[in-house]
Chain A
Amino acid sequence: MVTVTREQARARARSAAAAVTDPELPMLTLADLGILRDVAVEDDGTVAVWITPTYTGCPAIAEMRADVDRAVRAAGFDRVEVRTALAPAWTTDWITDEGRRKLAEHGISPPGGAPRRASGPVPLTLSPTRTVPRCPRCGTADTEELSRFGATACRSLHRCRSCLEPFEHVKEV
Chain B
Amino acid sequence: MSGDKIYTALSEEHGGDARWAFGTGFTDALAGVDTTLPEGVDGADLALYCQMLGDDALVQAQRLVHWVTDAPELEEEVALANIALDLLGQARLLLARAGQADGTGRDEDAFAYRRSVGEFRNVHLAEAPRGDFARAVVTLLVLSSVRLAVFTRLVDSRDPVLAAIAAKAVHELAYHREYAVSWVLRLGDGTPYSRERVAQAVADVWPMTGEPFAAHPAEAGLADQGVAVDPATVRAEVHDVLTHVLTSATLDAPPAFPEPAVAGRDGVHTPDLAPLLDELQKVAREHPEATW
Contacts and interface: CB of A to CB of B under 8 A. Distances in A.
A91 interface: yes
A90 B168 contact: yes
Contacts of A55: 85-86, 89, 168, 172
A16 interface: no
A27 B5 CA distance: 11
A40 to B, nearest CB: 11
A70 B165 CA distance: 27
Nearest to A65: B26
Contacts of B251: none
Considering residues B79, B85, B90, which has the most beta carbons from chain A within 10 angstroms of its beta carbon?
A: B85
A170 to B, nearest CB: 13
| Category for how many chain A residues contact B | 35 or more
Interface stretch (B105-113, B156-164, B260-268, B273-281): B156-164
B272 interface: no
A125 B27 CA distance: 37
A173 B26 contact: no
Interface in B146-173: 148-149, 152, 160-161, 163-165, 167-173
A27 B24 contact: no
Contacts of B170: 122
| Category for how many chain B residues contact A | 35 or more
B19 A66 contact: yes
Contacts of B172: 55-56, 173
Interface string A26-37: 110000000000
B1 A27 contact: yes
B21 to A, nearest CB: 13
Contacts of A83: 31-33
B289 interface: no
A2 interface: no
Interface of B: 1, 5, 9, 15, 17, 19, 23-27, 29-33, 75, 78-79, 81-83, 85-90, 92-93, 148-149, 152, 160-161, 163-165, 167-175, 177-179, 181-182, 185, 237, 241, 244-245, 248
A153 B86 contact: yes
A59 B78 CA distance: 15
A57 to B, nearest CB: 2
B184 to A, nearest CB: 10
Given A65-B24, A66-B25, A149-B83, A82 B32 contact: yes
Contacts of A62: 23-24, 26-27
A27 B163 CA distance: 32
B85 A84 contact: no
B90 A57 contact: yes
Contacts of B160: 87
Interface in A115-173: 115, 120-122, 124-126, 146-151, 153, 157, 171, 173
Contact of B92 (A26, A57, A85, A126): A57
Contact of A87 (B81, B88, B163): B163
Contact of A66 (B24, B81, B92, B168): B24
A122 B173 CA distance: 10
B26 A89 contact: no
A66 B19 CA distance: 9
23 contacts: A26-B5, A27-B1, A50-B32, A55-B86, A56-B90, A66-B25, A66-B26, A86-B93, A86-B167, A87-B164, A90-B168, A115-B174, A121-B149, A121-B152, A121-B237, A122-B174, A124-B241, A124-B245, A148-B175, A148-B178, A149-B82, A150-B78, A153-B86
